[in-house]
Chains A and B, each alone.
Chain A
């Protein structure tokens, strides 16, 4: 009985597929289950492309799921529901409305009378620390203050469930930290007029700092890979040893998934359609040099590396995975370890680096190898990119296909493996005179 009464929201077997053409569907979210009781903060943690923002939109009723259902306060959800309010990553404030008007918008939609509206807006504005800014326009405010408006706008309708879509990721480090602690303080003091919060993040520390429960998503397709309960009481200390260990464990969980991707030699069939991250060769070189030098000397702990390089998980993991793919470094259990090839690369001069990189690219990245072979065979050493793009799009969304193609082009240019003509949308080899 308790369980049912406490259960605010239930997500049952929800899947979301992006409809490609008649032949294949691209699955963003697969069979997700989630129950949310009162009085808890739940974090959805995962890489970009793991479908966590999609899930948030399904929960809010903005997006109907392809299959499965969402039960909100005991009834199936259809469309945006009362009692659910959302905070956006981009703040999503109306530039033509003042702070006061932005905050009042939700109340106005409910038909609340003006006096009552003003009173409640005033209350929310004061609660969230915006007093004095009522008449200001969003453009006049800093990012942190804007997100406070976003929070006030959501809180003023007294939602049972507050949804937050990467609410702090567009803010600088200091501002984000202030906002997080302010929000947690209000939550702990029970001054927030909400019963539960569901937030999307790709920042592991943020999740551990704020949430009571963390769902770790795997990507492609998005699934709930792990569910973790955070055992620490608020307020939490980032520098506490147990806290650090918890963060380390999550890193290990997430990179385990990455290394469980078959090593390049094992399954050549899937290889050619694997999606790649468009990370720059300069960044890759820089990371290899950093890894080779003190204090890491060939092996780095990912959380520490992320901290010292000021990179978020979302930025660091693609780098690590790319190095892993190219055989220049290995990702394992939350560590990044330089391979012999990687060490040679770090110590090489510019020309040698190109040779090493070209070799790695040709043997380890099937797509690059295929393109080069096709170009070698053609009499004019030109080939349209359309065919490769189409092939990629059979296996991934057009955005990922484009990213993958961009990555291959950038790497191949650096390696001088082949070149790309943007205007003609063709790959080509420089013909030596």
Chain B
């Protein structure tokens, strides 16, 4: 099971000033988007709102449309990744700005983006379905792109120097170098992150296809809107059908696309020691060993090779030494940045002072603390439960393969599908939603902890296990001295992903609807969701920014030190 370094924790140590700047700039940008949209805003014509039939016979068709949206978004994410991350890595000046922005974007709750994207795209194509389609695709894009871009950026900054020198020595153009060295080098990490992104996409999808922002609402035929309709009609059978469909869809693209891709990308790993590679997944074996399929894929490969091998070169970019970045240029660049920042500060200030009161900020912060407490408690629970179990499973080779694969699958499965069950139980037994809605937050993300711990335990070196056994180290001493430090780096990687997922999930987990019954907990997630449903853009913005601040603070104060410590001390 491949466990690449987490892409959500950048190793960079930039001054926090840049983060603060990026923070304000993004807020200003979101404000500008809603403002621009308002002028052209026309509600979607009723023809655009499709009726969703709960007949399961429609599900394959819905599934197809949904999957097409997801892959459209994935394609957009790839394009974004290749351009944005490359730009950030190639230009020092651009990197100074782009990377903090990416960090903030990654910390923003993805459901929150819906408010802005929907108003923007509907405004762009007033009254037409294409606007809604684009809005949904863009929303999915926001759930996929950031971690992919981060992964690419990290690969680009760690391209081995000798390979880099070889490409320059053989005078490859920038285009050729990109496709011959940089993309292949980034491939294993990128494909892993694409898999994670698809999970994120599903999670968002159930909310994005049927959306209500203020007085605008639309739904597009798809699994997401089918689920929304089923929840609305309190049709538990339909929810079950949707779960089943999703199970098969995820199984299909996992088996047909991602397993083969992951196995295939193993050949791009730059390693001195050959790593254990399992057998080819059946789909890859089929592609590689069937004459017809092989001929087809060979032809496609040749065409790709020909295009990427073109000696495209920007005029005058070929030189032996990289361009010197002058001090004067730096000053100009910083000056320009300061101007943009000043505009952003003014923009945010004027907008907020017109629409929000200091009391709003206080409320948002207080709710943020509530949500923080929830996330912390649940992470602690999940850790206490899954770390020991993961270790026991991981040390057993047979179990670890099976359970590991299952956990990966469960992590890809959007947990919000199971929420109706929780909600009906809470309603029936009159439970306190502040407590009993909370487990929903961790339902989908706990698996990241489990499968990372399993991966860590199964990668634990055999000779260290022998030492422990030879010196008869047992009991708590064994946990304390031997295994826990050994799996800690893996645990941190999993926990970072899981905790990020938790924050995201609060937007849908703190408010749950089942037919006419809506129950809500007190928390930042519920705050944003309700503001969004009410079309209160300033509050959505405030909520999102506060949440981003909490997530970033959590990352900086908790995860990053842990990550740095484990990288320094505990890496084997």
Residues of chain A touching chain B, judged by Cβ–Cβ distance below 8 Å, are 57, 60, 62, 80, 82, 84-86, 88, 90, 92, 94-97, 101, 105-106, 108-110, 137, 153, 157, 423-426
The reply to whether B466 and A86 form a contact with Cβ atoms under 8 Å apart is: yes
Q: With A96-B485, A97-B481, A424-B294 as given contacts, are A80 and B569 in contact (CB-CB < 8 Å)?
A: no
Measured between beta carbons, the chain B residues less than 8 angstroms from A86 are 466-467, 470
Q: Does B463 contact A (CB under 8 A)?
A: yes
Within 8 A of A (CB), among B446-503: 461, 463-464, 466-467, 469-474, 477, 481-482, 485-486
A62-B466 in contact given A94-B481, A95-B570, A137-B569 (Cβ < 8 Å): yes
B289 interface residue, CB < 8 Å from A? yes
> How far is B486's CA from A92's CA once the two chains are assembled, in angstroms?
13
Tell me the nearest residue of chain B to A88, going by C-beta.
Answer: B463
Beta-carbon nearest neighbor of B569 in chain A: A96
Contacts of A426 in B (CB 8 A): 289
A170 to chain B, nearest CB (A): 11
Decide if A85 touches B569 in the complex (CB within 8 Å): no
Q: Which residues of B contact A153 (CB under 8 A)?
A: 471
| Interchain CB contact under 8 A, B473 and A105 | yes
B114 CB to nearest A CB, Å: 43
The answer to whether the Cβ of B347 comes within 8 Å of any Cβ in the partner chain is no
Rounded to whole angstroms, the CA-CA distance of A90 and B463 in the bound complex is 8
Residues of A within 8 A of B470 (CB): 60, 62, 80, 84-86
Residues of chain A within 8 A (CB-CB) of B569 are 95-96, 137
- Cβ of B288 under 8 Å from chain A: yes
**B residues engaging A (CB < 8 A)?**
288-289, 294, 461, 463-464, 466-467, 469-474, 477, 481-482, 485-486, 569-572
Task: Out of A62, A82, A94, name the residue touching B464 (CB < 8 Å).
Answer: A94
- Closest Cβ of chain B to A175, distance in Å, is 20
List A contacts of B486 (CB < 8 A). Answer: 96
Q: Is B473's CB under 8 angstroms from A109's CB?
A: yes
In the complex, A101 Cα to B569 Cα: how many Å? 14
Identify the interface centre among A86, A96, A109, A153: most chain B CB within 10 Å of its CB.
A96
Q: Is the CB of B463 within 8 A of A106?
A: no
Q: How far is the CB of A331 from chain B (nearest CB, A)?
A: 30
Distance to closest chain B CB from A80 (angstroms): 5
- Contact A82 B472, CB 8 Å, known A94-B485, A424-B288, A424-B289: yes
Contact A105 B471, beta carbon cutoff 8 Å = yes
Interface of B, secondary structure class, is: helix
Residues from chain B with Cβ under 8 Å of A80 in the complex: 469-472
In the complex the two chains form, what is the Cα distance from A370 to B466 in whole Å?
42
Identify the closest chain A residue to B478 (Cβ): A109
A92 touches B467 (CB 8 A): yes
Which single residue of chain A is at the shortest CB-CB distance from B463? A92
| Chain A residues closer than 8 Å to B461, beta-carbon distance | 90, 92
CB distance from A31 to the nearest CB of B (A): 25
Q: Is the CB of B474 within 8 A of A109?
A: yes
- Is A95 touching B572 in the complex (CB atoms < 8 A)? yes
9 contacting pairs across A/B (C-beta < 8 A): A60-B470, A85-B471, A86-B466, A86-B467, A92-B461, A95-B571, A96-B485, A97-B481, A105-B481
New A-B contacts (14) at CB < 8 Å, excluding given A88-B467, A109-B471, A109-B472? A62-B470, A84-B470, A86-B466, A88-B466, A94-B464, A94-B482, A96-B570, A106-B471, A108-B481, A109-B473, A157-B471, A424-B288, A425-B289, A426-B289
Query: Which residues of chain B are within 8 angstroms of A423 by Cβ–Cβ distance?
Result: 288
How far is A424 from B463 in the complex, measured between Cα atoms in Å? 35
* A108–B474 CA distance with the chains assembled, in angstroms: 10
CB distance from B81 to the nearest CB of A (A): 27
Which residues on the B side are within 8 Å of A88 (C-beta)?
463, 466-467
How distant is the Cα of A92 from the Cα of B460 in the complex, in angstroms? 12
Q: Which of A84, A92, A97, A425 has the most CB of B within 10 A?
A: A92
State A95–B473 Cα separation when bound (angstroms).
16
Q: How far is the CB of A415 from chain B (nearest CB, A)?
A: 24
State the CA gap A84–B467 with chains docked (Å): 11
Give A86 to B472 CA distance when docked, in angstroms.
12
**Chain B residues with CB below 8 A from A137, complex form:** 569
With CB as the reference atom, state the residue of chain B lying closest to A63: B466
Nearest CB in chain B: distance from A63 CB, A: 9
Residue numbers in B under 8 Å from A157 (CB-CB)? 471
CA distance A202 to B304 in the complex (A): 51
A156 nearest in chain B by CB position? B471
Q: Max chain B CB contacts within 10 Å: which of A85, A94, A153, A426? A: A94
- Least distance between B551 CB and chain A CB atoms (Å): 29
Q: Which residue of A lies closest to B482 (CB)?
A: A94
CB of A235 to closest CB in B, whole Å: 30
Could you say which residues of chain B place their CB within 8 Å of the CB of A82? 472
Nearest B residue to A104 by beta-carbon distance?
B481
| Residue of A97, A105, A109, A137 with most partner-chain B CB within 10 A | A109
CA distance A84 to B472 in the complex (A): 10
A135 to chain B, nearest CB (A): 13
Kindly state the separation between the CA atoms of A110 and B477 in the bound complex, as whole angstroms.
10
Q: Please, which residue of chain A has its CB at the minimum distance from the CB of B570?
A: A96
Bound Cα distance A109, B481 (Å):
10
Would B472 and A92 count as touching, CB distance under 8 A? no
Contacts of A424 in B (CB 8 A): 288-289, 294
Q: Which residues of B contact A108 (CB under 8 A)?
A: 473, 477, 481
Write out the residue numbers on chain A whose beta carbons fall within 8 Å of the beta carbon of B570. Answer: 95-96
Do A62 and B288 touch (CB < 8 A)?
A: no
CB distance from A59 to the nearest CB of B (A): 11
In the complex, how many angstroms separate the beta carbon of A158 from the nearest chain B beta carbon? Answer: 12
- Chain B nearest CB, measured from A96 CB (Å): 4
Give the docked Cα–Cα distance between A161 and B13 (Å).
51
B467: chain A residues within 8 A (beta carbon): 86, 88, 92, 94, 105
Given the complex, which residues of A lie within 8 Å of B482, measured CB to CB? 94
A96 to B480 Cα, complex, angstroms: 11
Q: What's the minimum C-beta distance from B395 to chain A, rounded to whole angstroms?
A: 15
Quote the shortest CB–CB distance from A153 to chain B (angstroms): 8
CA distance A110 to B470 in the complex (A): 12
Complex CA–CA separation, A57 to B462 (angstroms) = 13
From B289, B470, B570, residue with most partner A Cβ within 10 Å: B470
CB distance from B127 to the nearest CB of A (A): 52
| Cα separation A400 to B461 with both chains bound (whole Å) | 22
The residue on A at minimum CB distance from B488 is A96
How many angstroms from the CA of A60 to the CA of B486 in the assembled complex?
A: 24
| Cα(A108)–Cα(B569), bound, Å | 21
Tell me the smallest distance from the CB of B237 to a CB of chain A, in Å.
Answer: 46
Closest 5 CB pairs of A and B: A106-B471, A92-B463, A96-B485, A109-B473, A423-B288
CA distance A12 to B4 in the complex (A): 48
CB-nearest residue of chain B relative to A84? B470
| CB-defined contacts of A106 to chain B, threshold 8 Å | 471-473
Measured between beta carbons, the chain A residues less than 8 angstroms from B474 are 109
In whole angstroms, how far apart are the Cα atoms of A57 and B481 in the complex?
23
Least CB distance, A72 to chain B, in whole angstroms: 13
- Min Cβ gap A381→B in Å is 13
Say how far B473's CB is from chain A's closest CB, in angstroms.
Answer: 4
A95: which B residues are within 8 A, CB to CB? 569-572
Find the A residue at minimum CB distance from B469.
A80
Residue of B nearest to A137 (CB): B569
Complex Cα–Cα for A84 and B485 (A): 26
**Closest CB in chain A relative to B448 CB, distance in Å:** 23
Chain A nearest CB: distance from B485 CB in Å? 4
Instruction: State the Cβ distance, B491 to closest chain A Cβ, in Å.
Output: 13
Min CB distance B286 to A, Å, is 11
Interface centre among B289, B570, B571 (most CB of A within 10 A): B289
Q: Give every chain A residue within 8 A of B466 (Cβ-Cβ).
A: 57, 62, 86, 88, 92
Distance (Å) between the CB of B393 and the closest chain A CB? 22
Complex: A101 Cα to B288 Cα, angstroms: 51
Note all chain A residues with C-beta closer than 8 A to B572. Answer: 95
Give min CB distance, B571 to chain A, whole Å: 7
Q: Are A109 and B571 in contact (CB under 8 A)?
A: no
Residues of B within 8 A of A85 (CB): 470-471
Bound-state Cα–Cα, A95 to B482, Å: 10
The interface residues of chain A lying within 8 Å CB-to-CB of B288 are 423-424
